[in-house]
Amino acid sequence: MTTPDYKSQLAAALAVKFQRRGFLKAAGAAIGLASAGVMGLGSASAMAQPGPRKGGTLTLGWLDAIDTLDPHFTMSGGSIKVLNNVFNGILKVAYDGKQVSFAPDLAQSWDMIDEKTHVFKLRPGVKFHNGDLCNAEAVKWSLARVADPAVKSPHAWKFADLDGIDVVDELTLRLRFKQPFAFLPVALTGSTGRAGTIVSKRAVEQHGQAFGRNPVGTGPFKFISWKENDSIELVRNPDYFEAGQPYLDKVVIRLLKEPSAGVAALMSGQVDGLSVCPFQFIPQLRQRADLQVFGQVEGNYSFLGMNNKRAPFDDLALRQAVSFAIDRNVIVQQSYFGEAIPAYTCISPPMTDFYDPNIAKSGRGQFFDLEKAKALRAKSRHQGELNPVYIVTDGFTGSGGMGTRNAQLIAPMLAQIGIKPKIELVDRAVWAQRRNAGDFDLYDEAWIADLDPDETITPEWSTGKPWNFVGYSNPAFDKAAAAAGRTMDVAQRRKLYIEAEDVLMADAPLAVLAHMKVFKILSSKVKGFEYIPADLLNLHTVWRA
Structure confidence at residue 396 as a pLDDT band (50, 70, 90): low
Strand partners, 169: 172
Structure confidence at residue 397 as a pLDDT band (50, 70, 90): low
Residues 23/241/48/270 CA torsion (nearest 10 deg): 110
Average pLDDT over residues 276-300: 95
Asked whether the predicted pLDDT for residue 341 surpasses 50, the reply is: yes
Structure confidence at residue 398 as a pLDDT band (50, 70, 90): low
Task: For 205-229, write each residue's pLDDT tens digit.
Answer: 999 999 999 999 999 999 999 999 9
Structure confidence at residue 399 as a pLDDT band (50, 70, 90): low
Asked whether the predicted pLDDT for residue 181 surpasses 80, the reply is: yes
| Residues 185, 168: Cα–Cα separation, whole Å | 21
Asked whether the predicted pLDDT for residue 483 surpasses 60, the reply is: yes
pLDDT at 429: 86
Q: Given this structure, which CATH class describes domain 57-272+525-544?
A: alpha beta
3-state secondary structure of 58: strand
Task: For 149-166, write each residue's pLDDT tens digit.
Answer: 999 999 999 999 999 999
| Residues 390, 331: Cα–Cα separation, whole Å | 17
Write the single-letter amino acid at 84.
N
| Residues 240, 450: Cα–Cα separation, whole Å | 28
Q: Tell me whether strands 389-393 and 422-426 are parallel, antiparallel or unpaired.
A: parallel
Structure confidence at residue 3 as a pLDDT band (50, 70, 90): very low
Asked whether the predicted pLDDT for residue 1 surpasses 90, the reply is: no
Give the lowest-confidence range in 113-117, 321-325, 398-402, 489-493. Answer: 398-402
Closest-CA residue to 280 (of 266, 260, 303)? 260
Determine the topology of domain 298-518 in CATH.
Dipeptide-binding Protein; domain 3 (3.10.105)
pLDDT at 383: 97
| Residues 96, 81: Cα–Cα separation, whole Å | 19
Determine which helix (DSSP H) or strand (DSSP E) holds 415, and give its type and residue range: helix 404-415
Do 42 and 294 contact (CB within 8 A), yes or no? yes
| Residues 232, 222: Cα–Cα separation, whole Å | 11
Q: What angle do CA 367, 280, 231 make, to 5 degrees?
A: 115
pLDDT at 29: 40
- Domain spans in the chain, listed from the N-terminal domain onward: 57-272+525-544, 298-518
Average pLDDT over residues 447-468: 94
Q: Is 229 exposed, middle or buried (0-12, 13-18, 19+ CB in 10 A)?
A: exposed
Q: In whole numbers, what is the pLDDT of the chain averaged over residues?
A: 90
pLDDT at 101: 86
pLDDT at 30: 43
| Residues 532, 179: Cα–Cα separation, whole Å | 30
Average pLDDT over residues 374-388: 98
Strand partners, 121: 109, 172
Task: For 356-365, write each residue's pLDDT tens digit.
Answer: 999 999 999 9
Task: For 249-278, write each residue's pLDDT tens digit.
Answer: 999 999 998 899 999 999 999 999 999 998
Q: What angle do CA 279, 293, 75 make, to 5 degrees?
A: 60
Strand partners, 442: 306, 390
What one-character DSSP code corresponds to residue 229?
Answer: T
Give the lowest-confidence range in 281-290, 376-385, 392-401. Answer: 392-401
